[in-house]
Amino acid sequence: MRYCLAIDIGASSGRHIVGWMENGRMQTEEVYRFANGVRREKGHLVWDVETLFREVKEGIAAAKARFATIASLSIDTWGVDYVLLKGDREVLPVYAYRDGRTEAVVSLVHRRMPFSELYRRTGCQFQSFNSLYQLYADKISGRLDGITGLLMLPEYLLWKLCGAQVREYTNATTTGLVSTCTGEYDNGILEAMDFPRQLFPKLSRPGKVLGEYEGIKCVLCATHDTASAVEGIPMEGNQPYLSSGTWSLLGVKTSRPLTGESSQKGNWSNEGGVGYNRYQKNIMGMWLVNQLRKELCNGLGFAEIVQAAQQSDCDVSVDANAPGFLAPESMKDAFDAATGGALKDVGGYFRCAFRSLAQCYGQALQELEINTGRSFEKLYVVGGGAKNVWLNRLTQEATGKTVIALPIEATALGNLKIQMEAVQ
């Protein structure tokens, strides 16, 4: 029996899941889980990469203790964030995408190259935290001086395990720096921003074997978690997907990037898949609910929160994608500001959040059909949000589609699928 290990790290938690094929079906077992999250340091939001790496190794040890032989492993995380290197030393801190340091540089970047041109070249949606803007903030602050390497977070963790430095395609497409024409870093953008060219080598595709860690082959999966999640969805035909976690990513597979005016205006993104393009939109996601829970009722379970929301008669909704919800010091205050103080009890806040998310999904799916020129019957929902029966019902009502909720670890399944094909 060949056992593979998927290390799937999200913004709020990480998990180690062992997978193997048995009687033609993928079997999985979670062997380790740990908490993750940003921390505030000297006025900035940062990631604790030392702890992340320690947890990665602890989980590998747990997998080896449970299963005699692990053939391979791979790591996926969220996109956009990266680690700068000077030789073999990390440059700290490692900033988190929700940190506000990029706000002052967006206009400076667009002076060097207008967003319309950036979008034409990359098809990458505008988010003020895209790696492009983070790197420009590093440039003007002097942080890029003397830098010899730049690794996205999963690449960094794999390097720490096996010593190989690579840049993986699906994660690179979240940076706002990859050409839709070549599938490589866009030289025109790099030159316009005056970024050190040596930091952006040729990209590697999922399935590459990098080296070994304690006798385990280290493989490149689709290291952007959404790319692995889409690979892990047992979908009939090509229907839209909703990866519902800290972020909600709603999209569909396309044969080529869509970079026309309607896509730019709607802020749709084109990101790398395993042999296809992912045409999708970022929606604020369960971040809203998780932050409200921490602030209003940290002791309540999600079942109780959903029950309170269902019992509320609140009919107020907000734009769940409004910038004010990205990284507020108080999520309650952000909702109060957006609703004019109309929310009166705990259930009302959560009802507003869930209904607003469903409405965003409905609007996004309508745009998706217009922009692709296709009509769809189903919406596949995976991730933590797939377990929320009430949110799924609200989503079905808002989209008018049959919602197929799959409360599976789709990201881990996609991660494992790529590994198994690589180490046959």
CATH architecture of 227-424: 2-Layer Sandwich (3.30)
Q: Which residue has the tokens 């929700």?
A: 98
> Would you place residue 301 in the very low, low, confident or very high pLDDT band (cuts 50, 70, 90)?
confident
Query: Which residue among the candidates 8, 81, 99, 225 is catalytic per the annotation?
Result: 225
Q: 3-class DSSP state for residue 115?
A: helix
Residue 85 tokens read as: 């290197």
Average pLDDT value for residue range 290-311: 92
Q: Which structure tokens are listed for 399?
A: 């989209």
Q: Answer yes or no: 225 catalytic.
A: yes
Per-residue pLDDT of 209-250, as tens digits, reads 999 999 999 999 999 999 999 999 999 999 999 999 889 999
The H-assigned helical ranges of 148-223 are 153-162, 169-172, 187-193
Structural domain boundaries in the chain: 4-223, 227-424
Band of residue 202 on the pLDDT scale cut at 50, 70, 90? very high
DSSP 102: G
Tell me which CATH homologous superfamily contains domain 4-223.
ATPase, nucleotide binding domain (3.30.420.40)
> Residue 93: CA atoms inside 13 Å, Cβ hemisphere, count?
17
Residue 110 · residue 103 · CB < 8 Å? no
The reply to whether domains 4-223 and 227-424 share a CATH topology is: yes
Query: Where does 44-162 have alpha helices with state H?
Result: 49-66, 106-112, 115-122, 131-141, 153-162
Q: With a cut of 90, say whether residue 169 has pLDDT above it.
A: yes
- Give the global pTM: 0.93
If you count DSSP H runs as helices and E runs as strands, how many of each does the chain have, helices first? 15, 18
Residue 110: pLDDT band with limits 50, 70, 90: very high
Tell me what pLDDT residue 299 has.
80
Q: What is the mean pLDDT of the chain?
A: 96
Band the pLDDT of 45: cuts 50, 70, 90: very high
Residues in contact with 423: Cβ distance below 8 Å, sequence separation at least 6, in sequence order: 2, 4, 71, 72, 209, 217, 219
Q: Cα–Cα distance between 349 and 389 in angstroms, integer?
A: 18
Amino acid at 229: A
HSE (side-chain half, CA atoms, 13 Å) at 177: 31
